[in-house]
Amino acid sequence: MDYLEYFFICPPLCQFPGAGGSHSAVDPGLVSSLDPGQSSVILFLSTTNSEPVSGTGVILPYSSSDPVPGGCNAEFNLNIDPNIYIHYNLYETTIRFAPANLGSMRGQAAPSCDAFGPFSQWRLEYDVFQFFLPENDLSEQSLFRALETVADTVGMVTNGNKVLTLSSADPTEAVFSSIPGQGVIYSVIVRDPVTNSSASYIPVHTYACSFSSTLDGCYTLDKISTKIFFTITGLAGLLICFFGHRFFKCELFCMGFSFIAFFFFVLISRTTELEYDVRLVLSALFGVVGGVILVMSWWRFGSVMACVVVVGLMLGFLIASTVLFTPLGDLDIFRRSDAVFWVTFSCIMIIVPLFFVRWPREGNIVTCGVVGAYAVVLAVNAFVYTSLSYITLNILKRLLNSDFSGAFTDVPFQSIDYSLLSVWLVLGASGITLQLLRERERPFFPPSPYLMWLQERERRKTNVLDPSHHCPPLPNRFFSRVKQLTQRSESAGEHTPLLL
């Protein structure tokens, strides 16, 4: 054992005294190179918080053949900096770290960081890992247990998820999709392929939210407006899932509302700095207008195929989002090129309605079942966190943030997600089956009321055998009756008008 790596985990800000050998941060860590004959190390830990705090410490020993995390630091304050620096916003979480160096024997100088070749630090490789904490669990106990589990190399490799591998020539940073309210531990393991050894950087955690903020904090992430909006959306989705094709006008309104509301939310968010609630209300108003326009276009022109294409685009959007929600969406070709991503997304989105042009009724019923059931899942997400909401949320983030393309969109998939996935599948399959059985003896689509009125009017004009053809209009019949009664009263010598 030639050097020690140790770190302390505490929710508030921790501090170590000493220039070049101290660090102030959450999840801080230090590396101490041992001198010949040294058998003990003294550490100082302090906090600026006057209230009692909880903390834990882990000591990791390494040998001279292991790489030194942060041994070639030229950017941060420590001489040897094994820490991972994390920054997050609403869309993405970025981690950065200092390059590592090769190990050395006690009492010997560390290898130069300016050297090149196969015997320098340029041969080192960096594996980036992430470990998800239990969903809906913000407790310190859960965090401490997880950090102790993945503190060393073996623990992280066994329990964590390796996201990517960086060479020494790559920038020492990685970008991930932010998941507010979901605890995530990030770690970097540096490997020396020549000596087949490795060492772990200090694991760092984030919930992508603030515990001290009274607005949009970790405990107040769910806005009332969001809960109301998605509760109504879930109820409408449940109706569409089982009765959408029967109540065709209601289905068209809901689909038109969703399509236009999503479009204007993106447009308003990218072009204005309005508050979230204002954007949500404006998007809902535009959505109502879009739903009414779609219903009125069918009522006036009766073009079922045009309406079904719009409805099919909703199913295509959800299928494309689901495909790119899988690990396929984290491929380098999609992360490095927005053009490739959006062309692929658009192709999948357009193919779906084209596929159902041959079977419009079946396509419409399938759309009702799948999209309606997913709306129920989104309604549940407004009250209980589920990763299934990120199927569409990742697309929304990419539309709103131009820099989101480079972020890894991996999310935890735990017990509640499997339960809601089962609910989605069961509701969708039940709704599709029920509507197919109920509508098999009915016309493919209900007729347009306006076109029916035109046909009825033409029929009355041309069909002289229809008794209604010989009946004068109601106003003419009324005035004719008045005239008859007046003539009758005059012939009888009455001067007082009759009571009609």
The full length of the chain comes to 500
Per the DSSP assignment, residues forming a β-bridge with 94 are: 87, 175
Provide the phi-psi class of 68: left if phi over 0, else alpha when psi is between -120 and 50, else beta: beta
- Distance, CA of 319 to CA of 483 (rounded, Å): 69
Report yes or no on 193 lying in a domain: yes
Please give the pLDDT value at position 486: 61
Report yes or no on 496 lying in a domain: no
Report yes or no on 472 lying in a domain: yes
Residue that is written with structure tokens 């079977």 in the block: 359
Instruction: Answer yes or no: do 228 and 185 share one domain.
Output: no
Q: What is the mean pLDDT of each successive set of 10 residues along the chain, which is 500 residues long?
A: 48 45 74 80 72 76 87 83 87 90 84 80 92 86 89 91 91 89 92 91 88 61 76 90 86 89 90 84 91 85 77 91 87 84 92 84 89 91 83 87 74 84 93 87 71 69 55 54 59 50
Please give the pLDDT value at position 405: 72
| Burial group, residue 215, by CB count within 10 angstroms (0-12, 13-18, 19+) | exposed
For residue 496, give the 3-state DSSP assignment.
coil
Instruction: Answer yes or no: do 432 and 480 share one domain.
Output: no
Report yes or no on 47 lying in a domain: no
Instruction: Answer yes or no: do 387 and 247 share one domain.
Output: yes
Instruction: Answer yes or no: do 157 and 239 share one domain.
Output: no
Instruction: Answer yes or no: do 248 and 317 share one domain.
Output: yes
For residue 422, give the 3-state DSSP assignment.
helix
Q: How many domains does the chain have?
A: 3
Please give the pLDDT value at position 13: 40
- Distance, CA of 474 to CA of 471 (rounded, Å): 9
Please give the pLDDT value at position 487: 65
Instruction: Answer yes or no: do 245 and 380 share one domain.
Output: yes
Choosing from 147, 171, 206, the residue where a domain stops is 206
* CA distance to 4, 61, 385, per residue, from 34 (Å): 7, 10, 47
Report yes or no on 320 lying in a domain: yes
- Distance, CA of 495 to CA of 500 (rounded, Å): 15
For residue 87, give the 3-state DSSP assignment.
strand
Instruction: Answer yes or no: do 384 and 235 share one domain.
Output: yes
Instruction: Answer yes or no: do 410 and 462 share one domain.
Output: no
Report yes or no on 429 lying in a domain: yes
Instruction: Answer yes or no: do 428 and 460 share one domain.
Output: no
Please give the pLDDT value at position 462: 65
- Distance, CA of 206 to CA of 181 (rounded, Å): 9
Please give the pLDDT value at position 15: 44
Please give the pLDDT value at position 138: 84
Helices then strands (H, E): number in the chain? 13, 13
Instruction: Answer yes or no: do 458 and 340 share one domain.
Output: no
Report yes or no on 142 lying in a domain: yes
Q: What is the β-pairing status of strands 84-88 and 92-97?
A: antiparallel
Report the CATH number that the domain containing residue 169 is assigned in CATH. 2.60.40.10
Instruction: Answer yes or no: do 243 and 305 share one domain.
Output: yes
Residues 6+ apart with CB under 8 A from 246: 435, 438, 439
Residues 380/300, Cβ–Cβ less than 8 Å: no
- Distance, CA of 14 to CA of 32 (rounded, Å): 18
- Distance, CA of 34 to CA of 471 (rounded, Å): 110
* CA distance to 15, 401, 451, per residue, from 447 (Å): 74, 43, 8
- Distance, CA of 445 to CA of 485 (rounded, Å): 49
Residues 6+ apart with CB under 8 A from 54: 10, 11, 140, 144
- Distance, CA of 170 to CA of 162 (rounded, Å): 17
Report yes or no on 92 lying in a domain: yes
Please give the pLDDT value at position 5: 52
Please give the pLDDT value at position 327: 83
Q: Which domain covers residue 158, as residue numbers?
A: 66-206
Instruction: Answer yes or no: do 366 and 281 share one domain.
Output: yes
